[in-house]
Amino acid sequence: MDWLVVGLGNPGKEYALTPHNVGFMVCDSLSFLFDFDFTLKNKFKGFFGEFSLGSYKVGVLKPITYMNLSGISVGEVFSFYKIPLNRLIVIHDDVDLPLGRIKIKKNSSSGGHKGVESIIQTLSSKDFARVKIGVGREGNVRDYVLRNFKENELEIVNQAVRLSADAVVCIIKEGLNKAMNEYNSLNREVIKQ
């Protein structure tokens, strides 16, 4: 395995369309684009799939540990495949970005995101790429990220998910700097509200 893409979220249908699950949504988008299936891998504590991109073999992980323990699942895959940190891409929601906005970063703090914090603690490093998807915020953040998207938000979210899948492909094929220049410079929401 040359690359690992991790989409953060919570398992279960009740969480499928919540802001906290946009990482899972991007993994599902990659599954559709590259025609692969996910299999429950107990040793990885998650659903795992893989595809080829050029000469690279890419693993895609959806941890089932629930958000706050995502690092446990990521650590299991890292130990098994010996993937270098510069080949890890974590996709997650960000309440500090407007709904639909994409931002690619590397080597930054968790920003209060418990799933990212769990990964940083498990790997003893924050030196990996992240594709952050803006979900906005309103009211109590904990309640907000676990509620279903409203119907008018879903179109924006679906476009952001597709854009994020493209960003992941760009990181792998063309490098992190190219992807940051291309996607961060968009500096816009996918659709104006």
Q: How many domains does the chain have?
A: 1
pLDDT at 193: 42
The C-alpha atoms of residue 2 and residue 18 are separated, in whole angstroms, by 30
Model confidence at 13: pLDDT above 60: yes
The pLDDT, as a whole number, for residue 185 is 74
Report the pLDDT averaged over residues 59-81. 98
Can you give the pTM of this predicted structure?
0.95
Domain assignment present for residue 118? The answer is: yes
Query: Is 189 a member of any domain?
Result: no
Residues 109, 182, 70, CA angle at the centre, nearest 5°?
A: 35
Does some domain include residue 11?
A: yes
Tokens standing for 72? 């446990």
- Asked if residue 111 is part of any domain, the answer here is yes
Does residue 190 lie within any of the structural domains? no
pLDDT at residue 106 tops 70: yes
CA distance 10 to 170: 26
Per the domain annotation, does 191 fall within a domain?
Answer: no
pLDDT band for 88, please (50, 70, 90 cuts): very high
User: How many Å apart are CA 100 and CA 160, to the nearest integer?
Assistant: 5
In a domain, 176, yes or no: yes
Q: CA-based Rg of the chain, rounded to a whole angstrom?
A: 15
Q: Look at residue 55 in the predicted model and tell me its pLDDT.
A: 97
| Residues with a known catalytic role | 20
Q: What is the pLDDT of residues 14-67, one digit of tens each?
A: 999 999 999 999 999 999 999 999 999 999 999 999 999 999 999 999 999 999
> Is 68 labelled as part of a ligand binding site?
yes
Inform me whether the pLDDT recorded for 189 exceeds 50.
no
Of residues 129, 59, 51, the one with CA closest to residue 89: 129
68, 116 contact by CB (below 8 A)? no
What is the DSSP code string of 44-73?
GTEEEEEEEETTEEEEEEEE-S-GGGHHHH
Domain harbouring 20, CATH code: 3.40.50.1470
Q: Which of 124, 57, 123, 128 is nearest to 92 (CA)?
A: 128
Where in the sequence is the domain holding 17, given as residue range(s)? 3-184
**For the residues 165-189, what does the mean pLDDT come to?**
89
Looking at the domain assignment, is residue 7 inside a domain?
yes
Residues above pLDDT 90, as percent of the chain: 93
